């Protein structure tokens, strides 16, 4: 995480619409303590867009794997979430989502559940029916819908060039959304 991390909701403190955070490890630790005290299941839902995808002859095919930069980002994601007590991981059928989560899944011994990118309702039902802390790896066009369906009140947009967003939804009564960035 960078020192430019933000919590959604304080637009004055951060140009991305959130609050700047300093020590990311202690922030995630505090967030996990907050999640553990929540009554609702799952406790915390971490959501990211897949990492940068590879291009072939200047084109980006619809189902390509990750670029070198994307593989590095996937390793960083694994590092950032290794202590987040993730109990389930959801990806789409696309290589880029599966490769984004592969380092973390392997280190935790978790087999990601693959849900078709177009089967939004099924994914949301699986998320709501799961327990513990979850990781969802989606796409720029699906993450805002998923976050909205989980009841977060903050509006989220993810552009085609955004790969460093890490959203955390706490499905408590207030449906709190936290928006961080990782390298």
Q: From 17, 44, 62, select the one nearest 171 (Cα to Cα).
A: 44
Rounded Cα distance between 131 and 38, Å, is: 12
Question: Can you give the pLDDT of all 183 residues of the chain as single tens digits?
Answer: 443 344 444 434 444 444 334 445 555 555 555 544 444 467 899 999 999 999 876 666 678 899 999 999 999 999 999 999 999 999 999 999 999 999 999 999 999 999 999 998 999 999 999 999 999 999 999 999 999 999 887 889 999 999 999 999 988 766 667 777 776
**For residue 155, what pLDDT is reported?**
86
pLDDT of 24 reads: 53
Q: Is residue 137 within 8 Å of residue 105, measured between CB atoms?
A: no
Q: Are strands 113-114 and 86-91 parallel, antiparallel or unpaired?
A: parallel
Q: How many residues does the chain have?
A: 183
Predicted local distance difference test score (pLDDT) of residue 181 = 73
Alpha-carbon distance of 45 to 136, in angstroms, equals 7
Instruction: Delineate the domains of the chain, giving CATH numbers in brackets.
Output: 39-175 (3.40.50.1240)
| Model pTM score | 0.75
Place of tokens 């790969």: 163
Contact of 169 with 177, CB cutoff 8 Å: yes
pLDDT of residue 46: 97
Q: What is the pLDDT of residue 1?
A: 41
First to last CA, the chain: 6
Beta carbons within 8 Å of 121's beta carbon, 6+ residues apart: none
Asked whether the beta carbons of 9 and 179 are under 8 A apart, the reply is no
Whole-angstrom Cα Rg for the chain: 15
Which residues, 6+ apart, have CB-to-CB distance to 159 below 8 Å?
140
Q: Where are the beta strands (DSSP E) in 16-152?
A: 18-21, 44-49, 86-91, 113-114, 133-138
């Amino acid at each position: 995480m960078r020192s430019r991390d933000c919590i959604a909701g304080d637009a004055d403190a951060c140009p991305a619409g959130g609050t700047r955070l300093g020590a990311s490890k202690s922030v995630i630790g505090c967030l996990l303590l907050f999640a553990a005290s929540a009554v609702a299941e799952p406790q915390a839902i971490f959501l990211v867009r897949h990492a940068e995808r590879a291009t072939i002859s200047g084109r980006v095919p619809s189902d390509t794997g990750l670029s070198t930069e994307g593989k590095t980002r996937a390793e960083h994601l694994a590092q950032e979430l290794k202590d987040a007590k993730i109990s389930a991981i959801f990806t789409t059928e696309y290589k880029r989502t599966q490769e984004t989560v592969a380092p973390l899944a392997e280190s935790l011994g978790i087999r990601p559940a693959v849900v078709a990118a177009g089967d939004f309702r099924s994914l949301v039902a699986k998320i709501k029916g799961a327990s513990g802390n979850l990781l969802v790896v989606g796409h720029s066009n699906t993450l805002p819908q998923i976050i909205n369906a989980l009841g977060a009140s903050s509006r989220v947009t993810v552009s085609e060039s955004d790969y460093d967003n890490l959203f955390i939804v706490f499905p408590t009564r207030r449906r709190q959304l936290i928006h961080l960035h990782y390298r």
